[in-house]
Structure 1
Amino acid sequence: MNRMNLDFSAHSALFRAMKNMIVIHDDFVFRVKSLERRHPSKDINITRLKRAIFNEIQRLFNFRIQSYNLLYPPITDDEIAGLSIHQIVVKKDETQEDDVYAGRVELYPLVFMCDICGDFREISSQDLQYFDTKCCVQGCNGNYRQLSLLRYCRECGKVEHFRYWCRAENDRSLSQKYTEHPIQLLQPSKDALFGWKFRCKTCGWEKDIFDFSCDHFDQKAQKKISDKPPTKFDPLTIREGGVFQPIVKTYVSIEPLENEKILEEEELLIAVGYHLGMFSFLEDILKRSEGEAEIMSFKQVKNLLSSLRNLKSAGLIRSEQEKVLDQMESVLENLKTAIGLIGTRNLDEFLTIKDLTMPRGDPDDIYSRFVKDYEGHLESSSLPADKKEEIRNKYKRMCGNFGIQNITYIPEIKLVSAYIGYIKGPFPRDGVPHFEPIWIDERKKFDVHERNFEAYIHPYNTEGILVEFNPLKIVSWLRENGFDELRANNESEARKLLVLLREESDDGPYNMIFRLLHTFSHAFMMNASTYCGLDTDSLGEIIFPSATAVMIYSTSVINIGGLQYMFENNLPEVLEDMRNHIQECIYDPVCSSEGGACFACMYLPEYVCGYLNQTLDRRIFTGSESLRGFWEHG
């Protein structure tokens, strides 16, 4: 019973049963110790993905260390070499309707109590095979059951099972305890933890379960986690997703570069240049040489630069080709001077999605028929002209309210979701979560030269809806909130200003845009689920602050076309419902005065929200005494 293999359903909540997570099976609690895995697929740009995952792990773990003054060594840039990426093996189970993936679990915690007399036992993994579930107390006919209770330290993040033995047995091994000094767990009420006590039946010592303090000492690593004084533990009832919460990040899958002539850092500079129209001269050149030329995609620009560099290094480049290469290199050099090699968050992912919306040049291409913006869809529909006009006016009015420039349905997007670590204990709404990387050997996590960690990925194809906001309206709104240095006369200037913004203080312009997009994203998912046949557990979000855009996608293993149906039939209604949703919360005025977001109005499960329900605020739209709301902007 201690160790066993289990199959987990690979449905929309795939990442709820990852390594180190809690699972409940046949009334027993287990912790996942390992997963069936393989090397990542060759069509995944693993170099780029590894860098993105590492940056997120490093940011979250180091922020935790800094916030709580912990003694863990911060993760350094050089430790990227110690990160391993594994792909989860998802397979078809003939006995079930759902796909499954396999994992190895261990009984956790190894603490038991009699369901009648309360006799308490802690068992070592070695002794578990000899453990008799019949109560060993003479005259008791009860059975031992697993104690589904842990204790958690808010100061250092330590989570451990409840352990107690009489002080008279401190020097004895675990297998020798509880013989001369048996322990009883007193439970005045099984529905409430208050009043629960451990009691030595030999000498009468009692200890309330709330009286235990954390010494901030890591038993596995044999190191101190914190120098702070002992802190009282909080009891933690075991339930799936309630002890350890998986942190999952989703990335747009970008194909590996065709060769190595473009550096990883340069790819993002190309993205910035493409987004700002700095490579438009390429389309003029193609038009002169080939007549009517199509708009070049982001991918085509990358491949062209790579090919020209190859020709030059091989000594085969022609003079007109070298001129084009020099112009492209000049764009990159100017961008390096302007913004350096520090990446603009996921702009290249946004442009990869935009590539999917571009015409493919083949009028018979089936995929292109399904990629559509809403007005294009409405125009091609069979509705009567007056009905089209009515829907179009409603759609334009709602888009104007939200500052939306365009909404596009994309039938197939390749995404990669990554389980990068987990939160220990409950998520602190007003503090910093205790993020823990997935250590390969927890005994070495204090040693920067020996410690290694891992992440688990799952690539999949799905449908999505891309929502793009008007950059000029966003810049104007930011100016009304005191950012006078942001000046733009047209969309091109606004786009350049926004793409150069950097993350800084919480009330800076970049983070204000993020709050705006994130709040919109949650409201969209919550209201779209009513019409698309998918609950919010089956939806996900990717936010593109630099491009002022949001993508909502389906995480369901079976793509039922729910987002397409909603897009084609109910999009104006969704936007109208969102406005009402954002304006009011059942807990107002408390919710509005204490952050503008809560469980009743904005929060989604942590495994759905890749941003941990942070930076959500309805007031970003409605306004407050200190904030000009987006809807208040003219």
Structure 2
Amino acid sequence: MTEVRMQATPYRASSAYYVKSDLFIDFKDGGQQLLTRLRPGREEELKGFIATQYGFAAAPLSDEDVEAACRGKDECVRDLDNYRTASNTIRSTEHLIEGMQEPNKAVFKSLLDQAYQNKQGIVSDLRRRLILIPTIDLPLSVLANLRDRQSRFASKFDPFRLAVEHATLRQNRLDVEKSENGKKKYVSFTRLDQDLSPEAADETAVQQELTGNLLNKLGVADMGLIREFDLCSFSFGYSRMESTPVLHDKRGMNMPVRLNLFPPVKVDDRQKAPVYVIQQSNEAIYVRLKEQVVLDWMRSLDCHDMFTLSGEEKLGAGILGVARPMGAFLDELPQSSAPPVYFYLYTLLHSFSHLLMKHISEYSGLDPGSLGEYIFPADLAFVVYRNGTTMDLGNLCALWRNSGNAMLMSMLNLKATQCGTGSLCTHRGGACPDCLMVPETSCIAGNKLLSRAVLRSIGSRAGRIDTRPGTIRGYFDVASS
């Protein structure tokens, strides 16, 4: 076994350093009901959420299951009484209907339907309050990823955590219809509110129809403005020489890079290592791709681990089963002739996000370094947000009012996925600073897992993750076919 010492900081090293940081969506007090499923000891509740969210089969709940879940709980006494009443009503009504003539059945059928609705409502409420947890039969691949998610995935790449965060985002932002002074928390660009609509009322319908047609060509199911995207970012240390955990030495060995904590500060007469936190609430643009188009595109890749869906399973059900380990620095990505379909999917979402960031910068005047991204793989969605603590001047609102559809048309243009530097990244199927790369401070994945080939066919495959000869179809090509 070879032993190596920690890579020391040489005298010739630059004074620049790489800050170690992370971030998460700050739902404040609005998302605790869902987010508690991520805590240790709540694995069964997390399994129930995943099964419900993505259509996995669950064992039918019996009256005995409800009785056992509510037994001994004071807060469930009324629920249990109402459930028993509804069950008795169903049994007695079904018995009466058996011998009735058709004209007389209508009244009792209405009573029976109401009793079923009451019973289902009680079950749904008990499940929402995490009192009644169904028995879930998840596939072994999903169970393995779920069991080892903290060791396999960095928090910003954990598909299960991101699934819960996306559901919470829907609950607290995307599905909220309430508006204040004509402004909604989330405005779909195909259903504009008073603030984003054109001044001429008759232009609103025309603009929304044009937006819908452009989004269809882009393979986008929904796109809109989140007025307040709350984030909390924190930094806890830094390293020199390299942003990754190891430095590849000339002698062919990986030398560990030294991680330094920030200089300690004195708090209550004690020296403590500080963690610097920044909270922000800025505008963001939310994008969710079309499930059927993504599925067709993934099937066209001929990846060896492509899955099949059954029953009521959504595409996210298969994605969670084939998810591959992703560390914080993505420093162990494979170079393979058998590419994982999950990395292809993440590359699609990541490349689409960067394409949008480039166009937002061009049409809004914002610097690419002032933008950030957040990706939800299992839900085929991502968010591009205004990053920073400077006063928000409503650039993204103004962008859509002034040139929203023009930006979408520009993204559909062939030039949007071309590179002006040369043929190097085209030949290798990757990306470079002249096409899709953005400043590393803006990129959630350090400009890795990027390729223009996943967006539009450029005569190659998606970089190092796929070394097979030949080419692939781009997502835009599949969406427009």
Instruction: Please indicate the TM-score interval, normalised by the length of the shorter structure.
Output: 0.5 to 0.7
RCO (CA 8 Å, sep 6+): is it higher in 1 or 2? 2
Describe the superposition over 1:342-368 as per-residue Cα deviations: whole angstroms up to 9, x where unpaired.
552411111222123355575x64486
Query: Which residue identity lines up with residue 497 of structure 1 in the other structure?
Result: G
Tell me which residue corresponds to 2:322.
501
Tell me which residue corresponds to 1:244.
17
1:128-527 to structure 2, matched below 5 A, reads: 157-162=7-12, 236-238=13-15, 243-255=16-28, 257=32, 264=39, 265-266=42-43, 268-269=46-47, 271-276=49-54, 314-318=73-77, 319=80, 320=82, 325=126, 329-331=132-134, 333-335=136-138, 339=143, 340-343=146-149, 344-358=160-174, 360=176, 365-366=180-181, 369-377=184-192, 381-382=197-198, 387-388=203-204, 391-422=207-238, 424-425=240-241, 437-439=259-261, 455-483=275-303, 485-488=306-309, 493-503=314-324, 506=334, 507-527=339-359
Distance 2:256 2:202 in 1: 56
Query: Which residue identity lines up with residue 355 of structure 2 in the other structure?
Result: A
Describe the superposition over 1:502-551 as per-residue Cα deviations: whole angstroms up to 9, x where unpaired.
11575311111111111111121121022324211211100111111110
Distance 2:284 2:35 in 1: 31
Q: Is contact 2:55-2:312 (8 Å) kept? A: no
Q: The residue matched to 1:498 in structure 2 has which SS?
A: helix
Q: The residue matched to 1:317 in structure 2 has which SS?
A: helix
Q: The residue matched to 1:160 in structure 2 has which SS?
A: coil
Describe the superposition over 1:256-312 as per-residue Cα deviations: whole angstroms up to 9, x where unpaired.
6479986614464455245336899xxxxxxxxxxxxxxxxxxxxxxxx9xx98x86
CA deviation after TM superposition for structure 1 residue 255, in Å:
4.2
CA deviation after TM superposition for structure 1 residue 453, in Å:
8.1
Query: Which residue identity lines up with residue 167 of structure 2 in the other structure?
Result: L
Distance 1:326 1:70 in 2: 53
Query: Which residue identity lines up with residue 619 of structure 1 in the other structure?
Result: A
Change (3 A) 1:323 1:618: closer
CA deviation after TM superposition for structure 1 residue 411, in Å:
0.9
Tell me which residue corresponds to 1:552.
384
Describe the superposition over 1:100-125 as per-residue Cα deviations: whole angstroms up to 9, x where unpaired.
xxxxxxxxxxxxxxxxxxxxxxxxxx
Q: Is contact 2:220-2:288 (8 Å) kept? A: yes
Q: Is contact 1:538-1:555 (8 Å) kept? A: yes
Distance 1:369 1:594 in 2: 44
CA deviation after TM superposition for structure 1 residue 416, in Å:
1.0
Q: CA RMSD in A?
A: 4.2
Query: Which residue identity lines up with residue 620 of structure 1 in the other structure?
Result: V
Distance 2:398 2:426 in 1: 34
CA deviation after TM superposition for structure 1 residue 571, in Å:
2.4
Change (3 A) 1:360 1:353: closer
Change (3 A) 1:439 1:497: same
Query: Which residue identity lines up with residue 317 of structure 1 in the other structure?
Result: C
Describe the superposition over 1:395-431 as per-residue Cα deviations: whole angstroms up to 9, x where unpaired.
3343233311001211112211122554532569x98
Change (3 A) 1:501 1:605: same
Specify every segment of 5 or more residues in structure 2 that has no aligned partner in the other structure, as ranges: 59-65, 84-121, 150-159, 249-253, 265-271, 326-332, 461-469
Describe the superposition over 1:11-67 as per-residue Cα deviations: whole angstroms up to 9, x where unpaired.
xxxxxxxxxxxxxxxxxxxxxxxxxxxxxxxxxxxxxxxxxxxxxxxxxxxxxxx9x
Q: The residue matched to 1:607 in structure 2 has which SS?
A: coil
Distance 1:423 1:365 in 2: 46
Distance 1:157 1:604 in 2: 29
Q: Is contact 1:159-1:424 (8 Å) kept? A: yes
2:399 equivalent to 1:566: yes
Query: Which residue identity lines up with residue 539 of structure 1 in the other structure?
Result: L
CA deviation after TM superposition for structure 1 residue 332, in Å:
6.1
Query: Which residue identity lines up with residue 566 of structure 1 in the other structure?
Result: L
Pairing partner for 1:615 from 449, 460, 465: 449
**Residues matched between the structures, number:** 369
Structure index of larger Rg: 1
Query: Which residue identity lines up with residue 587 of structure 1 in the other structure?
Result: T
Distance 1:614 1:386 in 2: 45
Distance 1:260 1:503 in 2: 23
Q: Is contact 1:247-1:422 (8 Å) kept? A: yes
Q: Which has the higher helix share?
A: 2
Q: The residue matched to 1:569 in structure 2 has which SS?
A: helix
2:391 equivalent to 1:575: no
Distance 1:268 1:433 in 2: 38
Q: The residue matched to 1:375 in structure 2 has which SS?
A: coil
Q: The residue matched to 1:552 in structure 2 has which SS?
A: strand
Report % sequence identity.
Answer: 19
2:455 equivalent to 1:628: no
Tell me which residue corresponds to 2:425.
591
Change (3 A) 1:247 1:394: farther
Q: Which has the higher strand share?
A: 1
Q: Is contact 1:423-1:435 (8 Å) kept? A: yes
Please identify, of 246-255 and 418-427, the stretch whose mean Cα deviation from structure 2 is larger. Answer: 418-427
TM-score by length of 1: 0.50
CA deviation after TM superposition for structure 1 residue 556, in Å:
2.9
Specify every segment of 5 or more residues in structure 1 that has no aligned partner in the other structure, as ranges: 1-65, 73-155, 163-235, 281-304, 443-451
Q: The residue matched to 1:527 in structure 2 has which SS?
A: helix
Q: Is contact 1:515-1:620 (8 Å) kept? A: yes
CA deviation after TM superposition for structure 1 residue 441, in Å:
9.6
Change (3 A) 1:476 1:543: same
